[in-house]
Amino acid sequence: MTGVSEILVLVLLIACILILPRLFKGEKPAKKNFSSKKLKKLPVKIRFGIVLTLVYPIAMAFYLKPWNQNLAVYIFYGIIPVFLAWAVVWIIAGRKK
């Protein structure tokens, strides 16, 4: 019976630490909502990159037909270049900041 009471004490402590301060806090936390305004702020280069991220693997899939025993070739020519391109964009964006 000791194990059950210890678990209940832990649940009570977690509830007191996490829930009670939120109940007694007078103001509401700011909601993070996803709006179309954030989409409008995307630069044209990023939008173009997102479209290419979707179109390039699909086009390579139609060209290489990975469902016909060419899966390794498709991954090498269709998927890895997309990851490398976004990795370069991520590194360059990090260096600018």
pLDDT in tens, 32-53: 666 666 667 888 888 999 999 9
Predicted pLDDT at 17 = 80
Name every residue whose Cβ is closer than 8 Å to that of residue 55 and which is 6 or more positions away in sequence.
none
Q: What is the separation of C-alpha 88 from the centre of its chain, rounded to a whole number of angstroms?
A: 18
Domain enclosing residue 73, as ranges? 2-96
Dihedral sign from CA coordinates of 36, 37, 42, 48: positive
Residue 84's identity, in one-letter code, is L
Name the pTM for this structure.
Answer: 0.56
The pLDDT, as a whole number, for residue 93 is: 87
What amino acid is encoded at 61 in this protein?
A
What's residue 30's pLDDT?
59
Residue segments in the chain with a per-residue pLDDT below the cut of 50: none
Number of domains in the chain: 1
Q: How many whole angstroms separate alpha carbon 24 and alpha carbon 29?
A: 12
